[in-house]
Structure 1
Amino acid sequence: MVEKTGSFVEKSAFAVSEKEAYWYQRRVFLQKAGYRLRPKFHPDFVGPIGDQIAQHPKKHIMDADRIYDGQQVMLKCISKRKFPHEVEIGQLFSTDAMAKNPRNRCIPILDTLDDPYDGDKQIIVMPRLIRFDEPLFDTVGEVVDCFRQLAEGLQFMHDNFVAHRDLSLLNIMQDPSRLFPRGFHPVNYCLNPTNDGLAYCITRTECWPQYHIIDFGLSRRYDPAHGPPHETVVPGASEVTPPEYASGQCNPFPADIYCLGDLFKRHFRAGGHVPLAFLAPIVDAMTQKDPAMRPTIGEVIARFNDVCCRLGSWDLRKPGQMLDWPAWIDQRLRQLKNIFKGRRPLSSQCLLSLSSPKRTSSSSSTALNSRMRTFYTRTPKSAGKPRSLAKLR
């Protein structure tokens, strides 16, 4: 049986909060399934005060270690009633065929557990990731690599007729395993694993992390045979609100384009930050008021490749974000060090994409197919129920 809330508070003193009750009560089940929670969730835990109070901001998220190999993972509790498609779509992009595609940036689902105490709940197991924007982007090249990965990842979703529908700052993550070579605390990733000092991290130019799109709670897969999708907007569900959301109905594919463009426009001040001015025409096109006038994600990538091919090495080594004077001096010195050590200003995969744009985008993308453009851009005028969802295979 699941332990009552009152009993776990008594056993673990103040180490486990009410918000963490769900995970504490399922610690034995998770252990048997092959996942170990932090020591603070053990009934007899006595440890540093930092570990006692450190907790994830959202109660449906928890960190753990996979027992058989020690891999650090994240657990997410999902309500099948509230988010009936989340697990299914996550598993779709985690199949062997999908996972091998280099454009796939959807977070892989490592395991799925059925909650033995609540039939409405499932627990998915994912790699442990952190926010995509920490630490600050050191160079323009790092921003270019990030944009490329996210655009190609969204293209891969759209090519499989899946719209994310909640592409926001909190739903884009990065793999920190090489960025923080000495590890980090699972809750406060700016701190070291023991939560008693700052974590040591390097720049992206030294390791080129992978970025991932997460959270498919609002995502849907559509059937092109039914015509352009016509989806009802979920009020307050997304951090970003494209203009068409005001009508209550939208085609979710151009809405995804708007959200990605808006993210780079606001977060990186593309256009306002002079070294990133080359991105301004692209993100401006992505955030046009009329969704039918926005480019498809395939067209975004084609424009992006064309612009980036003209950037020189020193352009790519300029600061990726606005800095004060002392930080600017430090950044310039780091670039001299990178040049001395032979570090390239772009990842090898990004260089490959820019040198062979057709091979990495248009040749394999339905989003660049003119016959499919209507499906990806037109919003049906008729109101009513959304178009039928395509059955996931």
Structure 2
Amino acid sequence: MPQATTTNLYALDENELWWTGHFEYLKERGYMMRPRYRPGWQPSYRPGTLDVLFAEDAQTLPHPYIMDALRMSDSYMVALKLVKVSTGEDAIATFFSNEEHNTNPRNHCIRVLEVLPVPGIDDEKIIVMPWLRKIMDPRFRTIGEAVHFFREMIEGLQCMHQNNVAHRDCARNNLGMDANSMFTREYHPIVPKKRYNWTGRALHHSRTRRPPRYYLIDFGQSRMYDPLQPRPSEYALKSGGHTPPEGDADTPCDPFATDVYILGTMIRASFLDGDPNASHRPGVDGFEFLRPLVNDMIADDPTKRPTMDEVASRFSDIVGKLHWWKLRSRAVQKDEFLSTPFRTVYHIFWTASMMLLLKPAIPSPKPPQ
């Protein structure tokens, strides 16, 4: 993993220095990092001043082992993730990116574009993947947009389980959105409200008009099991700030049942009730129709939780009974008050425009290229 080898670039931390030291190697492989990580970089801002808030080259890494870059052949923004081979993350990620799984419309595991060896280190690799946004940025506009997100994540976890793989950490922070279709120009990876070239705001269409795709990411804790052998019990991990009941009890159980709990908790904490551990996650009104299913998914007894096949079937039945006006209704943040009347009036006109454009109430993205 990244280790500092020099301190002459005083504005870079030790993890950034590792990436800077591999600039030429990554460039040779076709990936160009931002100016901050190029040889000879000098800050355009004055360190220790407010200039860092307004300078593109002052934007640091969101995670020490993940670097953003542009693919030089087409300026496509990618994530370069440094992983330990011993964790098996690269093996599971590439497994779901092979030709068979790439053509499976129910596979929503992040696509691996390439795996690069790390020069001189056998136990490390760099996984190249599409760069993703956080799932709630921008906010969901309609109930149908969120239903599209739920469907893809349920299908994705179901696909993993059908292939004898447990994610084991499928909380909100390990779900991502490929929103390139929504944006009129490339957004900046660290300050996504701004354009990549730092010349203004990154304008975007709604998810209804230009549907994104959602992905399960980060397979560092995932496990693949032999279908011919009994599936072993696993100790549950704390995921997304929440520990499953079997984790609190320190009791190993079926990891697939734990996955169901974690995904159900994500829906409950991000939409139904909000997350008391995070002030910026107040929840969203309008999703009570999912309460019975979610309650079963987060049952204290793992043996009483539905399987992902059952979750997918019940979810499909629930959504099939929703009226179009429910799916097109506005997804209102629970902490929204003063602006509600104005947004409601605007939403009526916006909805009419989407219907005139024949946009479905539940977005349907194009297959990935």
- Which bin holds the TM-score, normalised by the shorter protein? 0.7 to 0.9
Counterpart in 1 of 2:258?
A: 255
What displacement does 1:337 show?
A: 2.4
Letter aligned with residue 219 of structure 2: F
**Letter paired with 1:27:** F
Tell me which of 72, 83, 90 is aligned to 2:77. 72
Partner of 2:37: 41
Q: Does 1:206 align with 2:185?
A: no
Give the match for residue 7 of structure 2: 6
**Distance in 1 between the 2:350 and 2:240 partners?**
41
Q: Which residue of the partner structure matches residue 346 of structure 2?
A: 333
| Contact 2:260–2:297 (8 Å) recurs in 1 | yes
Single out whichever of 236-245 and 65-74 deviates more from structure 2: 236-245
CA deviation vs aligned residue, 1:124-171 (integer Å, no higher than 9, x gap): 000111111111111100111110010011111111010000011110
Matched, 1:240 2:256: no
Match of 1:320 in 2: 331
1:55 counterpart = 2:56 = no
Q: Encode CA deviations 1:245-280: one digit per residue, 9 max, x unaligned.
A: 122412110100011110010101269855211011
TM-score (norm. length: structure 1)? 0.81
C-alpha displacement at 1:3, in angstroms? Answer: 9.0
- 1:288-325 CA-to-partner distances (Å, cap 9, x unmatched) read 10111111111111111111112111111222232324
Which structure has the highest helix share of the two? 1
Letter in 1 for 2:22: R
Structure 2 CA distance for partners of 1:334 and 1:270, relative to 1, 3 Å: same
Look up the match of 1:266.
269
Which amino acid counterpart does residue 29 of structure 2 have in structure 1?
A
Q: Secondary structure at the match of 1:68?
A: coil
What secondary structure is seen at the aligned counterpart in 1 of 2:313? Answer: helix
The 8 Å contact of residues 177 and 212 in structure 2, kept in 1 or not, is answered as: yes
Is 1:346 aligned to 2:362, yes or no?
yes
Following TM superposition, by how much is the alpha carbon of 1:239 offset from its aligned partner in structure 2, in angstroms? 3.5
**More contact order relative to length (CA 8 Å, sep ≥ 6):** 1
- Match of 1:120, SS state, is strand
Matched, 1:98 2:101: yes
In terms of mean alpha carbon deviation, does 117-126 or 169-178 score higher?
A: 117-126
Alignment partner of 1:165 is 2:176: no
Change in Cα spacing, 1:284 to 1:43, as seen in structure 2 (3 Å) is same
1:241 to partner: Cα distance: 1.4
Q: Which residue of 2 aligns with 1:311?
A: 322
The unaligned stretches of length 5 or more in structure 1 are 351-393
CA positional deviation for 1:327: 4.2
Q: Is the Cα–Cα contact under 8 Å of residues 171 and 239 in structure 2 kept in the other structure?
A: no
1:328–1:255 Cα change, 3 Å: farther
Whether contact under 8 Å (1:130, 1:174) holds in the other structure is yes
For the 8 Å contact 1:169–1:263, the answer to whether it is kept is: yes
Is the CA contact 2:112–2:128 (under 8 Å) kept in the aligned structure 1? yes
Aligned residues of 1:317 and 1:335 also touching (Cα < 8 A): no
Any conservation in 1 of the 2:236–2:252 contact (CA below 8 Å)?
A: yes
Specify whether residues 238 and 226 from structure 1 end up closer, same or farther in structure 2 by C-alpha distance, changes over 3 A only.
farther
State how 1:111-190 maps to structure 2 within 5 Å: 111-190=114-193
Distance (whole Å) between structure 2 residues aligned to residue 56 and residue 287 of structure 1: 34
**Matches of 1:191 and 1:275, distance apart in 2:** 30
Of 8, 16, 23, the residue aligned with 2:19 is 23
Deviations 1:42-83 (Å, cap 9, x if unpaired)? 2233565422220122110001111222221110001224x2
Q: 1:296 aligns with which of 304, 307, 312?
A: 307
Contact 2:4–2:18 (8 Å) recurs in 1: no
1:94-127 alpha-carbon deviations (Å, 9 max, x no partner): 0011111000100011111111033321100001
8 Å Cα contact 2:168-2:236 kept in structure 1: no
* 1:226 equivalent in alignment to 2:229: yes
1:283 pairs with 2:309: no
1:169, 1:64 → 2: CA distance?
Answer: 24
The answer on whether the counterparts of 2:236 and 2:243 sit within 8 Å (CA) in structure 1 is: no
Q: TM-score, normalised by structure 2?
A: 0.86
Offset of residue 237 of structure 1: 6.6
**Size of the alignment, in residue pairs?**
341
Structure 1: distance between partners of 2:175 and 2:364: 22
The answer on whether the counterparts of 2:33 and 2:69 sit within 8 Å (CA) in structure 1 is yes
CA contact (8 A) 1:270 1:277 kept: no
Q: CA deviation at 1:183?
A: 1.7
- Structure 1 CA distance for aligned equivalents of residues 285 and 235 of structure 2: 38
- Cα RMSD after superposing both structures: 2.3
